[in-house]
Structure formats: structure tokens, C-alpha cells
Copies of this chain bind each other. A is one copy, B any other.
Amino acid sequence: MNSENFLVDYFSQYMTLSEEEVNIIKSEDIIREYKKGDILLREGQLAKECFLVLKGCVKRYYLDDGEEKIVEFYTENDPISPVSYITKEPSQYNISCIEPSIISTGTEERTQRFLQKFPRFVPIFIKIGESLTAEKQVFLDEVKNLSPEVRYQKLLETKPDLINRVPQYMIASYLGIQPESLSRIRKRLWSDT
């Protein structure tokens, strides 16, 4: 239950860690706890940190005419690498916790140092970045060509937990539809048995 083991567990998904690596990760790791509603990054700010959600749930969103448009949800083991963190330009998005969350924080400087010391991690980092890019493209194709109903079904399959822990109006926002529409979709799917 020691929270300092979260990050070790994360990397263990991808590779077997040596004792030295485990120790470095433990010692380097900065883990913070956040309350529901806490903000990790504000629109207009420069992101100086990237994140890894160890526990909890986080949303990335922007405000369009006062209305919150949710772009992405992050839960356990999801890395968050804000565009602003990479480009050094002010963020277009807000990132905030929608549950009490435990989150590991990375900085450029510490990441560099870590990768220099353990170069065998570099390909993993690259691979993670690539698969995120590929996922995003597939997702765009789906949004363009599939109905909200089908996309909701896909979401049920790929992230079944989300539906139980996130209010429906946020799911609707994420799908790009109104809460009323999502309600009808659910009704339709249910009656089709």
C-alpha cells in the first residue's frame, strides 16, 4: 500500500526492473495527492510538468462560450503529456481532477537525467509516445465516421469503468453530444436488449 511503489509498478508493465532502477525511481519520484476539483494545468499557463495518474480520475477540457468541452479522461496508469509541456507555448486546455487523485509528476530535468542514467528506458518512452499518436488518429477517424451511438458503445467496451465513475453529462461532453442525447442513446441500447 506504500504509494511510492505506484511508479515502479507502472514501469514493470513494460520491463523487468533491476534493484538499482527500482531504488532510483523510488527516490526520484514525486507523488502528490489532489482533491476533487484541484487543477493541474490552466488554460494560458505554461506546463512545466508532465503527469502519470496513479489513482483517481482527471479530465482535460476547454471552455467554449462558457461551456466545458471535455477532450480526454485520464485514469489509473494513463500518462499526461500536455502539448504545452512539449511546445513551451501557453496551454489551450485545462486539466483538473474529477476524483481525489494520486499523481506522479515529472519534470524535463529529472526525466532527462533518468534517461541518461538508464538509456534502456528511452525506447519505452518513445514507444508510449508513438502509440498515443496512433491511438489519436484512430480516434479521429472514428469521430468523423461513426455515430455518437456507436462511439458510446465503443467507450463502454474500451473503458467500462468510466461510465460508473464519471457523471453522464461529462461523458456526453466527451462524446461531443448533449446530455439529453446520451440519455436517449442509453434508452435505445437498453430496449434493443
A-side residues, CB < 8 A to B, are 62, 64, 69, 71, 83, 86-87, 92, 130-131, 133-134, 136-141, 143-145, 175-176
Contact = CB atoms under 8 A, between A and B. Distances in A.
A62 B137 CA distance: 12
A64 B139 contact: no
A145 B87 CA distance: 25
A139 B140 contact: yes
Nearest to A145: B176
A83 B137 contact: yes
A64 B154 CA distance: 17
Nearest to A148: B144
Contact of A136 (B86, B92, B140, B176): B140
A139 B141 CA distance: 11
A109 to B, nearest CB: 18
A186 to B, nearest CB: 19
Contacts of A83: 130, 133-134, 137
